[in-house]
Structure 1
Amino acid sequence: MSINKDFNKGNKISTNRLNTKFKKIKKVEKKKSTKSVIKMIIYIILFFIIIGFILLIVIYNKYLKGLSIEELKNYQIAETSIFYDRNGKELYKYYVENRTYVDYEKISKNIVNGLVAGEDQRYWENPGVDIVGLVRAGFRAIAGGERISGTSTITQQLIRNTIIQKKSNESLTEGIDRKIKEIFLSYQLTKSLSKEKILELYLNKIEFGHNTFGIEEASKKFFNKSAKDANIFEGSVLASLPKGPSYYSPYNHQDRLVGYLILDDEKADEEGKKDTKKLVSPEEVNSQKELVNSLKNKISNLKGKGVSDDSDKYVICNVDKTSLATKEFDVDEKGCTVLTYSRLFNFISDIKVKSGDKSLAYFPGRKDYILQRMLEDKYITFDDYKKAVIEGFGYKFNVVKEKIVAPHFVFYVREYLEKKYGKDSISMGGLKIYTTLDLDLQNKAQEIVSKQVKSNTSKFNAKNSALVSIDNKTGGILAMVGSNDYYSDDGKGQVNVITSKLQPGSSFKPFVYSIAMQKNQIGTKTPVYDLEMTFPGNYKPKNFDGRFMGKINISTALNHSRNIPAIKMFYMTSGVKEIVDFMHKLGADSLTMDENYGASLALGT
């Protein structure tokens, strides 16, 4: 018998009535529960509002009280820093006065657009702070533990260059303090001034390198024209420099700034090595005219268009599939490929042209990033982009001759100090910087280099030379001549040969000798033969004078820089690894095992 039947017979209570009662009870409980949840949510919201309000009061009183953008009106330009030699003789003034202030209307749109695209994409819409960028960086930091960086707007950078100074070694607390003030003042400045005025102040304030401050002087120095006349290529270069005036120097690091051509010679030399060269200067680029013109044509023939206004995809057509060095890009039967704007860099550098055993490709620089961003933000067309990329091939920057005492040395010291203490501390700190240089010895060193170059030019057509003199007791640099003429017309004189990575040549021989002598217990009077020989790999080295001295001792072989004995010393060591390890102990870290050195390492080649 079912339970329902018992209820119906015995107690005459209907099942429907029981169900009705149950439903009423359940409904009352739900109402009470809902009211409690709503009250709790309201209390939580009120709690956070009160806490937030209290925090705002604390932050305002601790960090923001008394801060005002009025300081910009009375802002004083920092003092000049002066470099001296060891005896107090002045070498160089590093100052912030070399500027000509220009109004916003006298600054080319190409410069403005390049700067905004590269430094602050949402500049025209943001309230002085890139909230979207900050949130995105915050999520990246939480998800991957990355350090939050690269979120400063142009307005924040202006504040940092005027009212608030960033310390090179600031603590986390100091960094937070500065950032809060920076954000507050940037917001205030954006409310008080137009976006155009803020850009005007910024571009007239910042440094562009080589004693040049403000956009007008920078444009005149590097391009010999006013800032209002800068074209797209020039605008992209000038917009690149605020990121690192020394690192992207048009004179010292043109390859980093505008990119460079890579020439590969597939034909191996006697030791099986293939030759790869960077082509940067006009002379280097013009030496490979056929290949350069071929690469220019490949790039010029490309057609490009965006997929849509809100898409990050870009379509490039007229692509010669056979000219792509890798299979990274899918090219359809119509010669088109779809890629993101951020991969445009990779695509251009993937184009390679060949002629015989030689091939040529392009490696982009900082200005190419600016151009890519300008294209993405619709400031320029694809034809503009291509033209500006090609314009950088072998570009010759304008050179203004400024007589600086010991220029290679002072710029070497300056770059070192900027890395250690921050650029602003050196350029605006009013410092007196005493160096190890002896100006009298420096002048003598310059005379020696100039005299030697004349001799080398007539004998070997070698038109450059360098010299460095170091105090063996302290390691201090007494004299540094980085090239024969820092102010040479071709601009190559500004390259510091001393700090460039070059083959050491015969100066490397003593290190190989020392290992061989220690390992084999031989001395300076041990006999060695300087005779024509064939070494493994059919390697037949010769001496610089084309002669052989026969039986000599080790001392004579080293003093006369004989190549055959040096190669013999190489084979008396355990080989390349032992030599490289030994050099690492001496601090020569640029030697690596992956360079495929052979016996010629003993000759410093």
Structure 2
Amino acid sequence: MKGCHRPHRHFLRNLFFFFGGLTLLIAGFVFLSVATIKIPDFRSFEERKVVGSTKIYDRTGEILLYDVHQDVRRTVIPYSEMGVNIKNATVAIEDSSFYQHRGIRLKSTLRALLYNLLSGKTLQGGSTITQQIIKNTLLTPEKTATRKIKEWILALKIENVLSKESILETYLNETPYGGNIYGVKEATQSFFNKEPRNLTLAEATYLAAIPKAPTFYSPYGKNREKLDSRKNLVLKRMLDLDFINEKEYIQAQTETVSFRPQEKFGIKAPHFVFFIKEYLEQKYGRDVVENSGLKVITTLDYEMQSKAEEIVLNHALENEKKFGGENGSMVALDPKTGQILVMVGSRDYFDKGIDGNYNVAMAKRQPGSSFKPFVYATAFKAGYTPDSIIFDLPTEFQTTCGVYGR
């Protein structure tokens, strides 16, 4: 009877050797891969600079006139300003074990390695939040085994030097939400006109649903039902992870969420905006203006500016018909402070036919009679009165350029 157990023992021994050999093979594969590939310098991640958008506003600080980085709209904010709802919603859908792993999920990693060895195809498996940061900042988007191994190694390195809060802060400041919107601050402003910390649970779950495929899940696109389904998936994950309770789950499911109308992001008061941008570059340097994420509050009164633009356009068109004068400009100053309230540099900045982008208001032209008040004011300060008699005689003035007058 004892002999009947030998085939069984033989099978178990072979099975043990098989898996032992497979484990050694995988370990050898990883060792050789790591030994032969060049890992990017991790310091480049720590030292890199995330460029924020420099924004120019009107005098209220509420109306955005121009975003210097039209192609990338991003405002970097600290972890403390992000709000618990968007943090938990993002972790729930993107990386449910974020607070437990050390950069990679071991089971997923081993499964991906095994898949690659057996099939010879590209490594499969979902990336952790840490891996996604590495993939988007230090590595190329190519899908190869070598790049994946680099990603794992760098993810482990990041987890050893950065806190979970710092990693999640980086992710939420850099993840794309569609179009030129990057980071949770710009996303909440664009979609809900809110600060991240003020998002409702339902709004936060919608926001967390978008980054997987920002164009496909855009709230302004044709796949709103798909977005709704993914938002409900985010809620279910949050419930399963005990981020929310049953009551909060039900309330968020039934909450009606309204997105802001999609804006046509462009430029307001263009002549004034570029006048300000040039001034800032001369004073602080172009690099500061381009890359420091400044919030510039100007003196412009946008309500007055809008009316002035309409007036200049209408009168310029009327003058063109009557007199052939095709353009016009206007500047309005606060007489007490000298602040620029209005600057209209032409009837239409974007009209190439009249060189509309040229700022007529800043052109060097003969001031004519508009200069007389300054002459009179200077004379009065010098003691002249309206009764003073001035002889109309040829007068010469010595200037650095020679004699002026006659």
After TM superposition, the score normalised by the length of structure 1 is 0.35
The reply on whether 1:399 has 2:261 as its aligned counterpart is: yes
CA distance 1:73–1:97, change in 2 (3 Å): farther
- Work out which of the residue numbers 49, 59, 72 in structure 1 matches 2:33: 59
Q: Relative to 1, partners in 2 of residues 1:131 and 1:95: Cα closer, same or farther, differing over 3 Å?
A: farther
User: Closer, same or farther in 2 for the Cα pair 1:238/1:376, shift >3 Å?
Assistant: same
Q: Distance in 1 between matches of 2:121 and 2:27?
A: 30
Per the TM alignment, residue 115 of structure 1 is displaced from its structure 2 partner at its CA by 1.0
- Separation in 1 of the partners of 2:115 and 2:34? 28
1:106 aligns with 2:81: yes
CA contact (8 A) 2:123 2:145 kept: no
Matched residue, 2:45? 72
Match runs of 1:75-474 below 5 Å? 75=48, 97-135=72-110, 149-167=124-142, 170=143, 175-253=144-222, 255-256=224-225, 258-259=227-228, 365-392=229-256, 395-399=257-261, 401-403=263-265
Say if 1:68 and 1:185, in contact at 8 Å, map to a contact too: no
Cα–Cα, structure 1 residues 375 and 179, in superposed 2: closer, same or farther, change >3 Å? same
For each residue in 1:430-474, what CA deviation from the matched residue of structure 2 results, as whole angstroms up to 9, or x when unmatched? xxxxxxxxxxxxxxxxxxxxxxxxxxxxxxxxxxxxxxxxxxxxx
Task: Write the letter of the residue equivalent to 1:126.
Answer: H
Indicate how the Cα distance of structure 1 residues 254 and 107 shifts in structure 2: closer, same or farther if over 3 A, else same: farther
Cα shift at 1:105: 1.3
- Aligned AA (1:207): P
Going from structure 1 to structure 2, the CA distance change for 1:401 and 1:150 (only over 3 Å counts) comes to same
Deviation, structure 1 residue 142 = 9.5
Task: Verify the 8 A CA contact 2:39 2:150 in the aligned structure 1.
Answer: no
- 1 CA distance for matches of 2:90 and 2:35? 35
**AA matched with 1:193:** L
Provide Cα deviations, 1:165-205, integer angstroms capped at 9, x if missing partner: 213xx5xxxx1111010011001111111111001001101
Contact 2:122–2:145 (8 Å) recurs in 1: no
Q: Which has the higher strand share?
A: 1
Taking the aligned partners of 1:54 and 1:141, their CA distance within structure 2 comes to 14
Q: Judge conservation of contact 1:209–1:246 (CA < 8 Å) in 2.
A: yes
Confirm or deny: 8 A CA contact 1:96 1:213 kept in the other structure: no
Q: Alpha-carbon deviation of 1:69?
A: 2.0
Tell me the secondary structure at the aligned position of residue 114 of structure 1.
helix
Deviations 1:142-178 (A, max 9, x none): 99999864421111110111001213xx5xxxx1111
CA distance in 1, matches of 2:157, 2:83: 27
Q: Percent identity?
A: 30
Count of residue correspondences: 243
Q: In structure 2, what is the Cα distance between the partners aligned to 1:45 and 1:255?
A: 50
Contact 1:130 1:151 in 2 (8 A): no
Q: 1:56 to 1:376 in 2, by over 3 A?
A: closer
Do the aligned partners of residues 251 and 139 (structure 1) sit closer, same or farther apart at CA in structure 2, a change above 3 Å counting?
same
C-alpha change, 1:55 and 1:140, in structure 2 (3 Å) is closer
**Mapped partners of 2:181, 2:133: distance in 1:** 17
State the 1:222 CA deviation.
0.6
Distance in 2 between residues matched to 1:47 and 1:115, nearest whole Å: 36
> Helix, strand or coil for the counterpart of 2:48?
coil
SS of equivalent residue, structure 2 residue 211: helix
The answer to whether the Cα contact below 8 Å between 2:239 and 2:246 also exists between their aligned partners in 1 is: yes
Is 1:248–1:256's contact at 8 Å kept on the other side of the alignment? no
User: Measured at CA, do residues 160 and 251 of structure 1 come closer, stay the same or move farther in structure 2, by a change above 3 Å?
Assistant: same
**How many angstroms does 1:245 deviate by?**
0.9
Whole-Å separation in 2 of the counterparts to 1:46 and 1:386: 51
For residues 242 and 115 of structure 2, the distance between their equivalents in structure 1, rounded to whole angstroms, comes to: 27
What per-residue deviation string (whole Å, max 9, x for no partner) do you get for residues 460-498 of structure 1?
A: xxxxxxxxxxxxxxxxxxxxxxxxxxxxxxxxxxxxxxx
Cα distance change on mapping 1:127 and 1:97 into 2, 3 Å: same
State the secondary structure of the residue aligned to 2:101: coil
Structure 1 residue runs without a partner (length 5+): 1-37, 81-92, 260-364, 406-605
Cα offset for 1:134? 3.6
Whole-angstrom distance in 2 between the partners of 1:251 and 1:117 = 24
Per-residue deviation, 1:73:
2.6
1:112-151 deviation per Cα after TM superposition (whole angstroms, max 9, x unaligned): 1111111111111111111223445677899999986442
Residue of structure 2 in register with 1:15 after alignment = none
Structure 2: distance between partners of 1:98 and 1:203: 14
What letter matches 2:215 in structure 1?
S
Does the 8 Å contact 2:74/2:183 carry over to 1?
yes
Higher relative contact order (CA 8 A, sep 6+): 2
Return the alpha-carbon distance in structure 1 between the equivalents of residues 253 and 30 of structure 2. 49
Summarize deviations over 1:474-530 as a string: whole Å, max 9, x none.
xxxxxxxxxxxxxxxxxxxxxxxxxxxxxxxxxxxxxxxxxxxxxxxxxxxxxxxxx
What's the offset of the Cα at 1:231?
Answer: 1.6
Distance between the aligned counterparts of 2:122 and 2:22, measured in 1? 31
Q: Are the structure 2 counterparts of residues 47 and 240 from structure 1 closer, same or farther at C-alpha, using a change threshold of 3 Å? A: closer
Show the counterpart of 1:326.
Answer: none
Distance 1:257 1:94 in 2: 31
Measure how far apart 1:383 and its partner are. Answer: 1.6
Q: What is the rounded CA distance, in whole Å, between the counterparts of 1:238 and 1:53 in structure 2?
A: 40
Q: Structure 2: which 5+ residue stretches go unaligned? A: 1-12, 54-67, 268-406
2: CA distance, partners of 1:196 / 1:225:
22
SS for the counterpart of 1:213 is: coil
Secondary structure of 1:199's aligned partner: helix
- For 2:21 and 2:264, how far apart are their aligned partners in 1? 66
Aligned residues: CA RMSD:
4.1
TM-score for the superposition, normalised by structure 2: 0.51
Question: 1:235: how far off?
Answer: 1.1
